[in-house]
Amino acid sequence: MAVLHAWRATRVTPLGELHAPPRMTAALVRLTVQVVLVASLWNGLYQQTGTTAGLDRDQAVTYAVMAVLASRLRELDQYAGRDSMLQHMHFGTIVYWYLRPLPPQRYYALRALGEQLYGFAWALTGYVLCLAVGVVEPPESAAVAGVFALSLLLGQWVMYYVMLVLDQLCFWTLRNGSAMMILIFAQNLMSGVYAPLWFFPDWFITLSGFLPFQATLNVPLSLYIGRIPLSDAPAQLAVQAAWVVALALFTRLLWQRAARRVISQGG
């Protein structure tokens, strides 16, 4: 029975997407346009130069396109299913999370897992197509591919906890719209979505090292394109794992404190 409940929770958001063809079509068009524009932009920027910030044109284009594809891992419309934490806090239905057979923290994790698996299918399909047409370069070796896969997994794990912390703020603030906008901008900037961190000043790179954002995307992609050598991979993976452990402990504490704030009236 527990496995059945887990499976149902995992497929909620993907099923919502699959039963809404217009949303899937819009996502396909948006992703295609983003890939084409980003590849054109970086190809254009490198027309007059050879290597910048330690990256040649192929590395920069590969990084930028894969950053766009990786963004699909967590770009699903939770609001359409009216099951986001913000909506439950707004309508007062968050109490039902505490009445289900699954604990709220497990339900939230299963929902996120389903979303990421669905997003991964999009990202992997886009990667294979971009690889086939030569938009992105393949990894230098099987070792690089393996390290990249592990780093990407840890990065998405860090991202999950970062988004969880933001959602948990709703237990104290009721709304997190402004915080979400700030976080998305900070995440995209400091994780390397807009541009590889190697193009930023040294003080910015140092500052981002004290935050979890670059562990979500910049580290995996830098390993993939060779900007971070394999010899430095163990240290980078250790930092990512440390962020996972620290954020897991922190969010567990927040779940415990949040449960004390949930009040059921009537019944």
Q: Is it the case that residue 77 has pLDDT exceeding 60?
A: no
Looking at residue 219, what is its pLDDT? 93
Looking at residue 78, what is its pLDDT? 58
Q: Of the segments 34-48, 190-204, 206-220, 237-251, which one has the largest average pLDDT value?
A: 237-251
Looking at residue 116, what is its pLDDT? 86
Mean pLDDT in the chain? 83
Question: Residue 68 in contact with residue 38, Cβ under 8 Å?
Answer: yes
Looking at residue 266, what is its pLDDT? 43
Average pLDDT over residues 59-72: 89
Q: In terms of pLDDT, which residue wins out, 41 or 91?
A: 41
Q: What is the pLDDT of residues 93-118, one digit of tens each?
A: 777 777 777 788 888 888 888 888 88
Looking at residue 148, what is its pLDDT? 95
Confidence class for position 7, pLDDT limits 50, 70, 90: low
Which residue is associated with the tokens 């068009």? 29
Backbone angles phi, psi at 55, to 5 degrees: -120, 135
Q: Is it the case that residue 189 has pLDDT exceeding 60?
A: yes
Long-range contacts of 122-131 (CB under 8 A, 24+ apart): 122/27, 122/31, 122/69, 122/72, 123/69, 123/70, 123/72, 123/73, 126/31, 126/35, 126/69, 126/72, 127/66, 127/69, 130/35, 130/65, 130/69
Confidence class for position 156, pLDDT limits 50, 70, 90: very high
pTM across the whole model: 0.86
Question: Residue 174 in contact with residue 95, Cβ under 8 Å?
Answer: no
Q: What is the pLDDT of residues 234-250, one digit of tens each?
A: 999 999 999 999 999 99
Looking at residue 24, what is its pLDDT? 78
How much of the chain, in percent, has pLDDT values that exceed 70? 89
